[in-house]
Amino acid sequence: QKEVEQNSGPLSVPEGAIASLNCTYSDRGSQSFFWYRQYSGKSPELIMSIYSNGDKEDGRFTAQLNKASQYVSLLIRDSQPSDSATYLCAVTWGSARQLTFGSGTQLTVLP
Amino acid sequence: GAGVSQTPSNKVTEKGKYVELRCDPISGHTALYWYRQSLGQGPEFLIYFQGTGAADDSGLPNDRFFAVRPEGSVSTLKIQRTERGDSAVYLCASSLRGGEEYEQYFGPGTRLTVT
């Protein structure tokens, strides 16, 4: 069974703080890992992809992958109210091309 | 450049009716995916096209659902004999190719409501 688990939240952080979003997945045959941001009433927007163990940084966002622990995280530095959204973790497995999503973590950044 | 487009943005239909949802992928993207999303959940995979052929349709819930992509670009998701449980946001995504590392970009979605 291929599952992706996220804390549903809501997660609240003050403006300027670091927001930490976590995701675990159930199968070691996983290949690729993605973080999407989804504003209320909108479609998912890709913000980060990561394919190998370690950290990947892009602006205020850092994705961290640990395949041995089956864990991927997203850190948002200097959080802004505009970062308030639901963050979706997605994984692909083996030869499958489709994304399997977690149910998302709702983040609120308080001004 | 233009992103993925989907039409209509909203569709309300009566139970038992037939509906078609259209997706126009990013130009040059050969892989196209359909997902559906219910409130409070992540998107769930329905079907994946590589070019004109359906490479994986394992996510289609039953035989009332099918999709086509006759020329390898625009795709249509077709739902027969709609049921209230089909109500959801239907999302289309495309990627440059179908490899595991190719990033998928989503369209704005079609909100389907079956009354």
pLDDT digits (tens, 9 = 90+) for B57-83: 999 999 999 999 999 999 999 999 999
| Contact check, Cβ <8 Å, A44/B106 | yes
Check: CB of residue B69 under 8 Å from CB of residue B75.
yes
Average pLDDT (A70-88) is: 97
pLDDT in the model for residue A87: 98
Give the closest-approach CA distance of A79 to chain B in angstroms.
23
A residues 16-75 closer than 8 Å to B (CB): 31-32, 34, 36, 42-46, 49, 51
| Contact check, Cβ <8 Å, A43/B42 | no
pLDDT in the model for residue B1: 64
- φ/ψ region of A94 (left if φ > 0, alpha if ψ in -120 to 50, else beta) reads left
Closest CA to A102 of B63, B37, B98, B52: B37
Segments of chain B with pLDDT less than 50: none
The pLDDT tens digits for A25-60 are: 997 787 899 999 999 999 999 999 999 999 999 999
pLDDT in the model for residue B70: 95
Closest partner CB to B100 (pick from A31, A101, A102): A31
pLDDT in the model for residue A31: 82
